[in-house]
């Protein structure tokens, strides 16, 4: 793809985020933030009996690339196991968004997937105790309503 096509792809995800919103009763609710800029993303995941992503949504407030990256990753992980998410490489995400376009903004591009990986990593130990993984959602919701 040409550089402009990558930019159009990113803008489309930013302007029409896929799977945007909250899940009512998620198994996993995790927040991620980029301390350098204060941008935040919240991932909501429903997990099935085989530890696969059954449903996923996200909310957030951030730059174009971070929100597009979060939107993109929600499309990619449906049906994947939490282990597969943990092991997921960054390269395909960077490639999909255009290496040239995002190479100086890698923390933005990976904010969504990193947040999700954190949840995938922590959830099994909570689940073993019969618990969900629910983090406070103060940041994201506070910022979204501004
Ligand atoms: Fe904050 Fe991109 S500038 S995540």
> How many angstroms separate the CA atoms of 52 and 92, rounded?
20
Best residue among 31, 107, 110 to mutate for probing ligand 1's pocket (most ligand atoms within 8 Å of CB) is 107
Q: Check: CB of residue 41 under 8 Å from CB of residue 62.
A: yes
Statement: residue 143 has pLDDT above 60: no
pLDDT classification of 137: cutoffs 50, 70, 90? low
In the prediction, which pLDDT does 138 show? 53
In the prediction, which pLDDT does 140 show? 45
List pLDDT tens digits, range 59-86.
Answer: 999 999 999 999 999 999 999 999 999 9
- Ligand 1 in contact with 63 (CB < 6 A)? yes
E strand or H helix at 57: strand 53-61
108 as an active site residue: the answer is yes
63 as an active site residue: the answer is no
Average pLDDT over residues 90-111: 96
pLDDT classification of 26: cutoffs 50, 70, 90? very high
Q: Domains in the chain and their CATH numbers?
A: 3-144 (3.90.1010.10)
Q: Closest residue (by CA) to atom 2 of ligand 1?
A: 108
Tell me how far the alpha carbon of residue 139 lies from the centroid of ligand 1, in angstroms.
Answer: 15
Question: What distances in angstroms separate CA 58 from CA 47, 55, 103, 131, one per listed residue?
Answer: 15, 11, 24, 21
Percentages (nearest 5) of helix, strand, coil residues in the chain: 50, 20, 30
Statement: residue 130 has pLDDT above 90: yes
Angular region, 79: left φ>0, alpha ψ -120 to 50, beta rest: left
Catalytic residue among 1, 11, 37, 138: 37
Backbone torsions φ then ψ of 51, nearest 5 degrees: 65, 30
Q: Give this prediction's pTM.
A: 0.92
Percentage of the chain beyond pLDDT 90 is 88
């Amino acid at each position: 793809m040409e550089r402009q096509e990558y930019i159009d792809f990113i803008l489309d995800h930013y302007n029409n985020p896929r799977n945007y919103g909250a899940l009512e009763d998620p198994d996993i609710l995790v927040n991620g933030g980029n301390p350098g800029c204060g941008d935040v993303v919240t991932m909501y995941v429903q997990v099935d009996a085989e530890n696969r992503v059954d449903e996923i949504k996200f909310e957030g407030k951030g730059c174009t690339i971070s929100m597009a990256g979060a939107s993109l990753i929600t499309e990619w992980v449906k049906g994947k196991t939490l282990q597969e998410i943990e092991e997921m490489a960054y390269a395909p995400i960077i490639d999909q968004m255009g290496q040239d376009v995002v190479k100086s903004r890698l923390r933005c591009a990976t904010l969504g997937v990193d947040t999700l990986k954190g949840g995938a990593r922590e959830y099994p130990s909570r689940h073993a105790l019969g618990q969900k993984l629910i983090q406070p959602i103060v940041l994201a919701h506070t910022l979204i309503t501004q």
